[in-house]
Amino acid sequence: MPKKPLNSESIPGFAEAMELWGEGLELVYDFIISVCELPHLAKKLGIERPFTHSEILEIYKEWLWFLSKLEHPSEIDFFQDFWFPLSNKTYRYYFDLFADEVIVFEHDYFLGFGPIYKEGYWFTNSIIESWEEFEEIQETNDGAEQWLKDLEEEMHELFLDRINYHSDNLLAFDNGPEPITQVSLIKNMAAPIEIRRTKGQLVALNVNSIVIDLLFADFEIIEISALECPDFEKVHEEIEDKSILGTIGELASYLRIIQQSRVTKLIFTFETLEAEIAKVVFEEGLFRIEANDEELLTDLEEAIIAVKEAEFPF
């Protein structure tokens, strides 16, 4: 985002957007003032304090500036000039300027995988759908705390429905997931991947959990003792179709479903081709595999190096 006020004339489409949606900014002003009286909802939406009219206009200008910088067709088609970002620090929750209602929603991204969903897709989740619903929230005597708990449960159920829907189709994929790339493997573009090899152990730093996809896909998993994703705490326990986690290939596809970059911890054991037990520990960008099969470790090390040194596909 720009660090100083923007000149309206330098923002493509600013005059047109203000003519269409400018009146809705007054609704945003009133809405934010009301939200600040509901501390739990304000925290959820990233609203720290009421904004002045000039601050609201500046936030909207920054949003239009951001839209003008988008290049990928899917992003250009998805993000709209009648959205108003409710936080001046992050783009996650929005007020819909198109409607005369109080309509608040969030955006999210389903990471692509396999031949069917390989492009991934953006989607929105409704938070507040009408003035009437917002008035009901205002009438609560707990700062919307219970309402938010109910909303989180609803969002969690929607997420599980999405996972189970794609899981049902996962076994029908003939070509498997897309090959791993440097972009999908690396954890932080500012830090390089580091590899450390000792007898019976291989460690890789600054990687995502999808690094497991570089192992032989048909290795059978013995036990998954940890799978943590802060945004979706109970996903692993509640997912309906446990069979998709029977092999490393299926687990890797599952990680793509829940977006591998969000996984903070993963621990599991699997059986090697030599009928021995190997252990994988992944936590916060650090991947470690322990195995007596030195050939397996060598193959994995070479695979990680190959991805690390590959050129970006764009």
Please tell me the predicted confidence (pLDDT) of residue 303: 85
Determine contact, residues 257/111, Cβ cutoff 8 Å: yes
pLDDT tens profile 156-176: 777 666 666 555 544 333 334
**Cβ density class 131-142: b for 16+ within 10 Å, e for less:** eebbeebeeeee
Residues linked to residue 289 through DSSP beta bridges, in sequence order: 202, 280
Cα separation, 181 vs 186, whole angstroms: 9
Q: Given a cut of 90, is residue 180 above it in pLDDT?
A: no
Q: Quick check: pTM over 0.85?
A: no
Rg of the chain (C-alpha set): 23
Average pLDDT over residues 193-203: 93
> What percent of the chain has a predicted confidence (pLDDT) above 90?
27
- Residue 253's closest CA among 146, 178, 145? 178
* Residue 176 CA: distances (Å) to CA of 28, 42, 205, 209: 46, 43, 26, 18
Reading the block at residue 16, the tokens are: 């047109």
pLDDT at 267: 93
CA atoms within 13 A on the CB side of 193: 23
pLDDT at 257: 67
The answer to whether 93 touches 127, Cβ cutoff 8 Å, is yes
Asked if the model's pLDDT at residue 240 lies above 80, the reply is no
pLDDT attached to residue 298 = 92
pLDDT above 60: residue 22:
yes
Domain boundaries, the chain: 8-170, 182-309
Specify the range with the lowest mean pLDDT, choosing from 105-114, 243-252, 295-304: 105-114
pLDDT in tens, 33-78: 999 999 889 988 989 999 999 999 999 999 998 898 888 777 888 8
How many CB atoms are located within 10 Å of the residue 232 CB? 20
The DSSP code for 253 is H
As a whole number, mean pLDDT of residues 222-237 equals 70
Longest Cα–Cα distance of the chain, Å, equals 69
Mean pLDDT over 182-211 rounds to 81
pLDDT at residue 132 is higher than 60: yes
SS3 275: coil
Summarize pLDDT for 142-159 with one digit per residue, the tens: 778 888 888 888 877 776
* pLDDT > 70 in the chain, percent: 75
